[in-house]
Amino acid sequence: MTTAADIMHPGAQWIPATETLDRAAQLMARLNVGALPVSDASERLCGIITDRDIVVGCVAKGHDPAQVTCGDLCQGTPRWIAADADVSAVLDEMEGHQIKRLPVIDDRRLVGMISEADLAQHLSEEQLAGFVEKVYARR
């Protein structure tokens, strides 16, 4: 059985909800990633911030990224998957919520992230085509 831990990119890092978007962008650039899981004061997942969120949700609206926090842009219920979850559960979660990145949690700790690139490396062409169709479908 292939698990979330088998296909994830290990070593993901949290960014606190209280951190500003300019700092989030700097961390993304340093880590060469387009998204960061956002944690509350108890280091629990409270959302994900993406480079697109920063541009569209802050800069394009004329706000100063040095004055807006990651927590200000986090919306909805955060989605995640257990490290020992089967790859089919990963696909169900990502397809069902039309998300492109999924934090992987083990024993209440962030252990990695699964992105489209990770899926592309580990799925069959048929599975990948199904994922793309469901995630990018207009609802």
User: φ and ψ at 138, to 5 degrees?
Assistant: -80, 135
The DSSP result for 60-73, as a single string, is GGT--TTTSBHHHH
Over residues 85-102, mean pLDDT: 93
What digits encode the pLDDT tens for the residues 95-106?
999 899 999 999
- Torsion over CA of 41, 44, 46 and 47, rounded to 10 degrees? 120
What digits encode the pLDDT tens for the residues 9-68?
998 899 999 999 999 999 999 999 999 999 988 888 899 999 999 999 999 999 999 999
Cα(35)–Cα(52) distance, integer angstroms: 9
For residue 77, count other CB atoms closer than 10 A to its CB.
Answer: 8
| Predicted local confidence at residue 77, as pLDDT | 83
Which value, in Å, is the radius of gyration of the alpha carbons in the chain?
15
Q: 43: helix, coil or strand? A: coil
Over residues 77-83, mean pLDDT: 93
Query: How far is the first Cα of the chain from the last one, in angstroms, to the nearest whole number?
Result: 32
DSSP secondary structure letter of residue 61: G
103, 39 in Cβ contact below 8 A?
no
- Write the single-letter amino acid at 84: D
